[in-house]
Structure 1
């Protein structure tokens, strides 16, 4: 498989912004619940969960939905906006429910046929960005959160029989999972007795320090913090972002893989298009018809055209999903 040097962090990961201004979204599940009891037994149905992950503070918010449909997702999105406030940007993969939701809300700028897009975005101040298909690594910021939530739920559901799980119990479990995840430390816990404060997403969301004693107030005097509540809130928020910039942000700069630059794929290159549902010798051969260089000049996304059933079809794929067979440069040399 091809690969390219790991891209720099998106701008929304490295700038100070209110919680859930920049959000990554994914859906996980399902779980069977008892929806109603009948004379013959119980009637079970399924529930899924939508996770909203803040790109900068790393806080999470989970909503339970009744179906993997656009309508259910839009309801969850509206509940999220009502509780956490409107977002400026939403990122997700290319799941069909996300595509449908963005179209119904007129938030997808890639389709010029939508009406009132500009008017809607001016009022909501929100855009929707889709990662390329088959590029789950580009959504790693929220995919890791899904993995954490699954592990916590597996442990909690050991104490609760699945056949007796109700909608109310599942919703409560999701609230508990949210609290646990938002209480996780973002940086290694310091052994310095002069720095007892642990940086967590909950510190910003609740503006409470839990059992830890309040640290020095910086520009505010301690007596003022006790008497004037708004100054205490401001002090805690400033404290979070100061630790976020000086301790957490530098941990994001490391590239653990894909550290070196490789030659860019170019238009005219002949490639194999990876297909997980087919054997390797049955992968279709395609031609790169368009590349998408990023700000650093490196190509991490391409458009591949193949011929299938006598018709030409174009697919947008990350470079990790193609295998270079013949470079267009070699043709020009020969």
Structure 2
């Protein structure tokens, strides 16, 4: 049997409906029989029919060209792919449709069949596998054909699959979702169309055929591809809704949860950037309410039980905060029930104190330490209250690091869930901390002046500065000792960075003028001088500018004089 099946070499799928019949039969035989067991006579009869079908393939004739005309001369080239599935196999077949100057031509391109999984798959799943096979077949053909296609159309006889492909409102389970994603990777919902089962040529590939006559339906393109036929109708995507989405097990059940959460304190505290300011505002509101009540009823204004203190206001805010964020835990502890296992604070073994505040439990109940240290108050990190508290105690420790801020919170009897991340976030956004811990900024240097970049002889453009003093000799006098100091004038070429140094006895204008004269006498005239505008240099720079201009005038007069002499000599 294996040799008979493997003797069929058909990479393009011309006789795929015949070979799939043998594959189905081979799987049925291999299920309940060992290698040397005799097979059932009914299966043996089917096997003989398959062998006879294979023998008739020698009379099958397939044209060498897909269509009678050349694809290079065709006007409109279309690719049409049909898919189908059955309980035993899935298949897909592709045809070309071209229009020449005379008439339309259609031809077989490629076909492919696969065995369906033996169990665990419904018909919509198998039809979806057939659609995946059709897109893979189209991808192979488009890559292989060196022609431009006008359109690519896909056809299936399953409206359930068309509903899956055109769905935009519901979610599927993984099996359908992954295959729909693969289909939409190579195609769009507008390319998919419905075709009836009797007109679907891919139906032969899923059932199998046993004669050459039946194989013609597979090899010849259906007549509905012609324009003259009205049997094929392209239906728009919106006309393929999901079929019975409430009963379809492949579609996820829609669960909608509605509820109203009381977050008054969070909304109110969002308007404050400082914990003290929030406490003071609530304190004033409570005092106004107390005064209003005292007007209507006679109460002792000095009664300690009715005094509004910042501590009482803080406890009130924390109590409201816990009622908004931990209502189930508080209710469970009040009624004596266990805390829900999904609670975020179950590991803290929370307890309720006399004021109704949630505190961290533990084994320090008999300790002599304050209750704020043994059983701190639990605060949620998802509330603006927690950020205000972190910012308040961070400012209290003078903007020190995370560990100091966290320690200050613990010392004041507060346990914020996920405090490490919250404190790091607050410190990252803290402006004083960013300034204190930020990197040192450096000024960007300006462009170099043109005198530093233009090629010129040495000391054409010069920079000047002075350095010193240093002691060169010490003389003893009647009054003590006298020191002789010296300074130096540094001349540096702006282009070549050459250096010339002149020693001066004092930082005066006359000493600087003499040093500059010695420099010009050795190095020649200077085009431009740059200095830090010291008081002993400003007068000299004015003198040097006039001196240079005088040199230029003298040089021009000398040139004119020599030119006149040359002309006289020629005459």
What TM-score comes out, normalization by structure 2 length?
0.18
Structure ranking higher in helix proportion: 2
Q: Which has the higher strand share?
A: 1
User: Which entry has the higher C-alpha Rg, 1 or 2?
Assistant: 2
TM-score (norm 1): 0.30
